[in-house]
A = this chain, B = another copy of it.
Amino acid sequence: MNHSEVKRKVEQWGRWELTLEGPSEGNPFQEVTFGARFQFKNRVVEADGFYDGEGKYRIRFMPDRTGAWSYVTRSNCPQLHGLSGEFNCVGPSKGNHGPVRVNLRFGFVYEDGKRYLPFGTTCYHWTHDMDEQLEELTLQTLQTSPFNKIRMCLLPTRDMCPPAIAFAGTCPEDVDRTRFNPSFFRHLERRLDDLQRLGIEADLVLFHPYDKGHWGFDGMSWEEDTFYLKYVISRLAAYRNVWWSLSNEYDFNKNKTVDDWDRLIQYVRRNDPYEHLRSIHNGTKMYKSSMLYDFNKPWITHQSIQHWDPELTTDWRAACPKPVVIDEISYEGNSSRRWGNISGQELTHRFWEAMSRGGSVGHGESFNGMATRAWISTGGVLYGEAVERIAFLRRFMEEGPADWIQAKQDGTYGLYYFGRRQPVYYTLELSEDQRYKLEFIDTWNMTIEHMEGTCSGKARIRLPGKPYFALRVTIA
């Protein structure tokens, strides 16, 4: 065997990798097929390998069972074909809970059963400039932030001139869509590992409409699109913290129809051996909720929504039995752009409003005139007032049940958020068979005040009569 590198041991949901030497002449990205068949007892998983340049062929695999796995490679290149071996999958290390899955119709859970409640943020192109110092700063910021998911793009925008892109070439004139740039991916992969160490899911945005023909990546053929997707999946699917977001603001891309997106999402599903979470994100033209992508389609795992109105969470839950993630709800900031200038109070309010209705919200920040550029584009430092409130909300929500809407129906927990309303009385309809304790939450000042005593049955509660308050009801 000409295995140049191979892992003999891997942890569950870790990344096993095998490197082989093979041909470098011609265009190996297009000409060489390469993959492997992995087997655990009777369980068989097929995965694609990829060409990593300089005659190196790699295959990655994320095993989901502990014990002995075997593999055998396949290739149209005899040198890479029919190589077999074994490796041992051991239990996951601390902090490794596996990939995130959908659970409870409206919730998420890591594969090991630990609850996952998304508190996402957005840094679309934080890895593209390959600015080590800035990326380290972003990671530091993330480490102390409440965020456990980040939305990030693979492809550059019209305005960018990055040192490397996913495809070969560095500018629209010399871009070669028949080849990829392995160094772009190696850099990205290092950052995916950094995110994984921080417990952050990478919601990878595979396409976006901000190219407008400049690079041409928004108007590629089916063959080019799937060539790109296949390569991305072969490199990145073995990262357990990866999610697939087929496109950002897909409806702004005039080169593709909903049918095209459907086909591409199904292609990703077929090619991803691990069934990572999959969705697609609408643009502002789809603000009317009835025009959102039909998330009931079976290849969609969760609802990835752009809308400014968190109250519609209730409608979206009713329309589709999949988790609601409002990935863009307007960003805190002082930008001149409509999407990037709501106040921290307003963003905090939208988080509470959506969560109290059973959804999740994505954060973003777009402050101009600061030491670092807009967080949503390049990461860096966070300046807003919402972040610490989101951290408070996350701690608050994690103290509660995984399905707080169901728990409210069952009478075991209640979250009542009053938003811009300021009633002095609220009538709770609680079970007669339980005693409940109450807490008043000032969502802006981040205080929790315990009410003396307990209550039961129909109870008229005196509230502080100020806006941005919530009431938590738990069994005493």
Contact = CB atoms under 8 A, between A and B. Distances in A.
Contacts of A427: 336
A334 interface: yes
Interface in A309-356: 333-336, 338, 341-343, 345-346
B467 A421 contact: no
A422 B346 CA distance: 10
A421 B342 contact: yes
A181 interface: no
Interface of A: 333-336, 338, 341-343, 345-346, 368-369, 418, 420-427, 465-467
A465 B418 CA distance: 26
A467 B424 contact: no
A315 to B, nearest CB: 11
Contact of A467 (B336, B345, B425): B345
A423 B336 contact: yes
Contacts of A338: 421
B346 A420 contact: yes
Contacts of A334: 422-425, 465
Nearest to A333: B422
B424 A369 contact: yes
A234 to B, nearest CB: 43
Contact of A423 (B335, B422, B424, B426): B335
A343 B422 contact: yes
A369 B423 CA distance: 11
5 contacts: A334-B424, A334-B425, A336-B424, A345-B420, A346-B467
A443 B467 CA distance: 18
B341 A421 contact: yes
Contacts of A341: 418, 421-423
Contacts of A424: 334, 336, 368-369
Contacts of A467: 342-343, 345-346
A336 B425 contact: yes
Nearest to A332: B422
A422 B336 contact: no
A426 B346 contact: no
Contacts of A369: 424
B425 A342 contact: no
Contacts of A343: 420-422, 466-467
A442 to B, nearest CB: 14
A337 to B, nearest CB: 8
B336 A426 contact: yes
Q: Nearest 5 pairs between A and B by C-beta?
A: A334-B424, A346-B420, A343-B467, A341-B423, A341-B421
A14 B79 CA distance: 104
Contacts of A425: 334, 336, 368
Contacts of A418: 341
Nearest to A338: B421
A25 B83 CA distance: 114
A342 B426 contact: no
A346 B177 CA distance: 52
Contacts of A336: 423-427
A294 to B, nearest CB: 20
A1 to B, nearest CB: 62
A418 B335 CA distance: 12
A334 B426 CA distance: 10
A469 to B, nearest CB: 11
A385 to B, nearest CB: 11
Contacts of A423: 334-336, 341
A465 B427 CA distance: 39
Q: Which of A346, A418, A424, A466 has the most CB of B within 10 A?
A: A424
A467 B424 CA distance: 26
B465 A422 contact: no
Given A342-B467, A368-B425, A369-B424, 16 more contacts: A333-B422, A334-B422, A334-B423, A334-B424, A335-B423, A336-B423, A336-B425, A336-B427, A341-B421, A342-B420, A342-B422, A343-B420, A343-B421, A343-B467, A345-B420, A346-B467
A320 B368 CA distance: 40
A473 B425 CA distance: 43
A387 to B, nearest CB: 16
A407 B283 CA distance: 32
A329 to B, nearest CB: 12
A424 to B, nearest CB: 4
